[in-house]
Structure 1
Amino acid sequence: MVNALEGPLVRLGEVELIGRVPSKLRAEIHGLARSEDVVVRVNWSGDPEVAAWGVSLGTSQELGLSAEGWLEQKGTMTTSALLVGPELAHDPYATPPVMHWRDVRERARNLGAWPVVPGHERPLWEWVPLERVGPLRFGMSPSEVSAALDGETPAGRIGHFPHWWSGKAGQWYLSEDRFEKAGVSAHYWTHPNGVPRLGAVTSCGRTGPQVAHAGIPLVGVSPPALDAAIIQHIEDHDLGLRFCPNAAAVWDGLQLVLQTARAGDAAVSEPTFCAEEWEI
């Protein structure tokens, strides 16, 4: 895998693969494929994949350095590439060497489009830090979460076996439910009584409900603009500041994680709201 931000530049013919605008690279890949009469398909992330070349493209959010020299988010995506030999090229992400590194079987498959719901069409949810997000209260069971979302059935579930490496699978533990209609993911920890309990909620950056704090919309907005608004509010009110691993700025003590979702060539904010006991 050639990293989008730190990997070497890689060229396929006259086409540069790394650190590119995704839509521009997609057009160039299709053009080169036509000239060489090879098939381009869409991989699990919605990006081009060409078995004849052993190339499967991907993206990462672009980061950069501020004028002061610290790491900061950009509002754009940039390309990476998985390069494999002929024995893996027929379906790279379904082969054991790649699955052990990145297992995408339980992830939602993207068909190559990233539509974003306009802000005025999103429901507005209230966030009470450390207690609840909209109708979802931390500590709920999966059945209670589904009931609070008007009975919606999860479109996808992710879980794990705690001791898979020992060869003894044991009990399967639910860790995440994805609700497509509501536009949220529910994250669980396993309570001592064995029932999963809600520990965090993610509002999907492209389709999820809007959630605001201190009058600042947190969902589906440009990451640099959101960083600027949060930092300004923190400075104006002399509050604590914390940075997420992806360099996003958040209020200290609120158990908030600000990640991003892809929206074509752009990135939009995707927050996760956590219970007090949830490790972030």
Structure 2
Amino acid sequence: MTFIPEADSGSAEREEWSYSPAFGVGPLRFGMTVEAVVEAAEELGQAKVSECPRHHAVFSPTWKVDVHRRGAAPSQAAVTAYVSQAVGLYCIAADAVQGPQVTYDGLPLVGREMSKLEGDAISYAEARDVHLRYTPEGYAGPDDPGVVMRGQLVGRAVRSRPLFMVTRDGAHTEWDSMPSEEYFHGQPAT
């Protein structure tokens, strides 16, 4: 399977970060403290920390670290990291436009038109005789509990915004662990 970058996805300018299941993405490692995330984020740019509202009492206090590209015009965060008081860094979201390119065994996951990503994910699964996973919204991605595919509206297109995760305090799955802020982030209006 050969990946041809989509012309308007900005893929030529993206850094390439590696993903290691249950370990981390790029310079970010699951379990890091807020301070360690901010320090590691310096590789990409400037970090801004804010506290997340507590929508569920079962979860400990959580912070959001938005990382903006160094020298880029004001724009959305390239990466958003979520850090729980109980488990540390548990979720890393790569923005569809500004985020680094992260691949899963050669399959590019960030900034892809969702229909093209689905076709490539199906080809990937068939070529390796493995399964693929669909989210409740119908987005296809690798069959890895640590990767939750999300859609982000970019102009008129829905592009991929993957979340790389481990479970957080009080949750049974990564889907249960998803930060409330990510449920509707950049989602098309219904």
TM-score normalised by the chain length of structure 1: 0.50
The CA deviation at 1:120 is 1.1
Q: Give how far 1:232 is off.
A: 1.3
C-alpha change, 1:156 and 1:221, in structure 2 (3 Å) is same
Does residue 120 of the first structure (1) align with residue 8 of the second (2)? no
Alpha-carbon distance change, 247 to 161 in structure 1, aligned in 2, over 3 angstroms: closer
Relative CO higher for 1 or 2, CA cutoff 8 Å, sep ≥ 6? 2
Equivalent residue for 2:23, pick from 107, 120, 131 = 131
**1:260 to 2:151 alignment:** yes
The letter for the 2-side match of 1:216 is L
Q: CA deviation at 1:135?
A: 0.3
Q: Who is 1:248 aligned against?
A: 139
User: Partners in 2 of 1:120 and 1:179 — Cα distance?
Assistant: 20
Are positions 1:180 and 2:68 aligned together? yes
| Structure 2 unaligned regions, length at least 5 | 1-7, 70-76, 176-190
Distance 2:17 2:144 in 1: 20
CA distance in 2 between partners of 1:124 and 1:173 (Å): 31
**The structure with more radius of gyration:** 1
Does the aligned pair in 1 maintain the 2:132–2:143 contact within 8 Å?
A: yes
* C-alpha spacing 1:230/1:161, structure 2 compared with 1 (3 Å): closer
* Kept in 1: contact 2:104–2:142 (CA 8 A): no
Contact 1:130 1:276 (C-alpha < 8 Å) held by counterparts = no
Q: What whole-Å deviation, never above 9, does each CA across 1:58-87 have from its counterpart, x for those lacking one?
A: xxxxxxxxxxxxxxxxxxxxxxxxxxxxxx
**Amino acid aligned to 2:48:** A
Runs of 4+ more than 3 Å apart: 151-156, 161-164
Determine whether 1:270 maps to 2:161.
yes
Within 5 Å, which residues of 2 pair with 1:71-150?
Answer: 118-150=10-42
Q: Give deviations 1:13-53, integer Å, cap 9, x for gaps.
A: xxxxxxxxxxxxxxxxxxxxxxxxxxxxxxxxxxxxxxxxx
Pick closer, same or farther for the CA change 1:199–1:238 going to 2, 3 Å.
same
TM-superposed deviation, 1:187? 1.4
What is the CA–CA distance in structure 1 between the aligned matches of 2:18 and 2:160, rounded to whole Å?
17
CA distance in structure 1 between the aligned counterparts of 2:56 and 2:123, rounded to whole angstroms? 45
TM-superposed CA distance for 1:236, in Å, is 1.9
Q: After superposition, where does 1:147-162 map in structure 2 within 5 Å?
A: 147-150=39-42, 153-155=46-48, 157-161=50-54
The answer to whether the Cα contact below 8 Å between 1:202 and 1:272 also exists between their aligned partners in 2 is yes
- Cα deviation, residue 240, structure 1: 2.4
- Deviation at residue 158 of structure 1 after TM alignment: 4.0
The alignment of Structure 1 onto Structure 2 pairs a total of residues equal to 154
- Following superposition, the deviation at residue 127 of structure 1 comes to 0.7
Output the aligned Cα RMSD: 2.4
Q: Percent identity?
A: 29
Q: Kindly indicate whether the alpha-carbon contact (under 8 Å) linking 2:62 and 2:83 is maintained by their aligned counterparts in 1.
A: yes
The separation in 2 between residues aligned to 1:163 and 1:201, in whole angstroms, is: 20
Counterpart of 1:85 in structure 2 is: none
1:200 aligns with one of 66, 70, 91: 91
Match of 2:38, SS? helix
